[in-house]
Structure 1
């Protein structure tokens, strides 16, 4: 079997904001998808999001109703990792950006996944050598980061190999993500935050500093950013989309690694989170009045 045909069964572990979008994209490109959620509530939320996205695509003429129904039919759900992973060719992990959480997931995945299954972590800032510490066969592991703006519509994806990633795994991963319409950018050596994502992180850190110290208003900054860089979204709304708890966890991971106070997320960000203002998924973050079910398709387009 050629590498382009090898990955047909994809398991998504963690079906929150990013996981739901990745499940959706795999399904509309013909993959059989199993979404793992710890509760029926999380599964129901994922179903509602995917139903809205499918309806949106049908309304735009990007899918026929028949195609949308077929994509929906390719998605199943499970509340145990054993059931979710038993037939997986690829597992994509999308749990919170906390090293101990990801390590625990991969300890379990190492036991329940078929030997041929590729293991893939969607992480913005953590190192593979930490995430996969307890995985028995590193040859089948790699990490990736998708476009946090809109991995449903946008085609950016950054792959990163570890020194043990096999050529077979590399080829299978690249073939798979190409079949999903992505244009993978490869970071050849392991580094915290990949390469392009490290540049985004530098922008994000400076934006948080300017906001927390009263130098700029998020909406006004984003307006200037979109004019200058000809984008359809600014850094503050993008952070809302990603989720402010995730942003806080990422910044904390850099601070833990460096010990540099400049890497420490501002207390004002923690105050937003403690108030329940988590970004788009909670309806309010730097901005307010989001449609919490529609997800990122509500972000203003060019």
Structure 2
């Protein structure tokens, strides 16, 4: 890990994951740079982080500073960062462009990470002419702080020391880190979750049962707090579709009907919790 002046963490993207990760990294005193192209997104993120602190953090706990920056100040924000994580939408060309940009402007000892939920870091950097690919890896989180699991995955040239650093630092900042020992589309949990959500979608699309009924029997049998459709609403149906499209492209033999079902709902303006209506309706 970088020492001396580089003690902060930078997060590129102040959406759902970026703001939650900003809360996690700042909760134990680490300074955070939150970077986004939209001023409103940055402002809303600070308010949201304060809500999380009031819900999850003891009053006496000392939090690190969170400083916001627009994207044109990216290089300055990275100057004191030992880690930068991209949290931009799950679109491969976007992620490739931003990893290339981060490689060009981040200090030489800054670790560069992707929060991609479906693309391996090897896929993201394939063919990119990076100055140092050994410092590039994946740090995929779920729904912190409620779900604190985070998966650390490198590629064939990632420096093992960076993996060790992330495993330790994530644990020190309230995450529960898991090392993905080989490149894996979907990491560990999402490979298993993908099969569950795909079959749930197919069951509903075939009108075997409604999403509500499927959630109820799922929770009754497995004693989980949420069913698969409730979980998809939390993730966002557009994100779920992006991930499913990638699985279909990457693996083949993936049924089309679940994706058709998602496209229909998205076409009706149903994105899930984030816009108040998905498989369920929510009071925003």
TM-score norm. by structure 1 comes to 0.86
Conserved 8 A contact 2:6-2:79: no
Match of 2:162 among 147, 163, 169: 169
> Structure 1 pair 172/264, CA: closer, same or farther in 2 (3 Å)?
farther
Tell me, in whole angstroms, the C-alpha distance in 2 between the residues paired with 1:8 and 1:264: 48
Conserved 8 A contact 1:237-1:286: yes
Partner of 1:51: 50
Partner of 1:228: 221
- Could you list the per-position Cα deviations for residues 138-172 of structure 1 after superposition, in whole angstroms to 9, with x for gaps in the alignment? 2111113223xx32123322221211111221121
Conserved 8 A contact 1:156-1:184: yes
Tell me, in whole angstroms, the C-alpha distance in 2 between the residues paired with 1:232 and 1:261: 28
Partner of 2:68: 77
Structure 2 SS opposite 1:89: strand
> Structure 1 pair 191/283, CA: closer, same or farther in 2 (3 Å)?
same
Is 1:63 the equivalent of 2:62? no
> Structure 1 pair 35/264, CA: closer, same or farther in 2 (3 Å)?
farther
Conserved 8 A contact 1:4-1:176: no
- Could you list the per-position Cα deviations for residues 186-234 of structure 1 after superposition, in whole angstroms to 9, with x for gaps in the alignment? 1211121112220111111111111222222222222222222122111
Conserved 8 A contact 1:252-1:263: no
Conserved 8 A contact 1:240-1:280: yes
Structure 1 residue 42 displacement after superposition: 1.0
Structure 1 residue 86 displacement after superposition: 2.4
> Structure 1 pair 132/7, CA: closer, same or farther in 2 (3 Å)?
farther
> Structure 1 pair 7/271, CA: closer, same or farther in 2 (3 Å)?
farther
Conserved 8 A contact 2:2-2:82: no
Partner of 2:10: 11
Partner of 1:136: 131
TM-score norm. by structure 2 comes to 0.91
Structure 1 residue 48 displacement after superposition: 2.1
Tell me, in whole angstroms, the C-alpha distance in 2 between the residues paired with 1:51 and 1:14: 18
Tell me, in whole angstroms, the C-alpha distance in 2 between the residues paired with 1:220 and 1:6: 54
Aligned length: 280
Conserved 8 A contact 2:5-2:80: no
| Structure of higher RCO (CA pairs closer than 8 Å, 6+ residues apart) | 1
Tell me, in whole angstroms, the C-alpha distance in 2 between the residues paired with 1:191 and 1:129: 10
Conserved 8 A contact 2:25-2:31: yes
The unaligned stretches of length 5 or more in structure 2 are none
Partner of 2:249: 256
Conserved 8 A contact 2:20-2:145: yes
Partner of 2:40: 41
> Structure 1 pair 264/23, CA: closer, same or farther in 2 (3 Å)?
farther
Structure 1 SS opposite 2:221: helix
Tell me, in whole angstroms, the C-alpha distance in 2 between the residues paired with 1:284 and 1:213: 21
Is 1:159 the equivalent of 2:152? yes
Q: After the TM superposition, which residues 105-144 of structure 1 pair with which residues of structure 2 at under 5 Å, given as runs?
A: 105-133=98-126, 134=128, 135-144=130-139
Tell me, in whole angstroms, the C-alpha distance in 1 between the residues paired with 2:256 and 2:179: 26
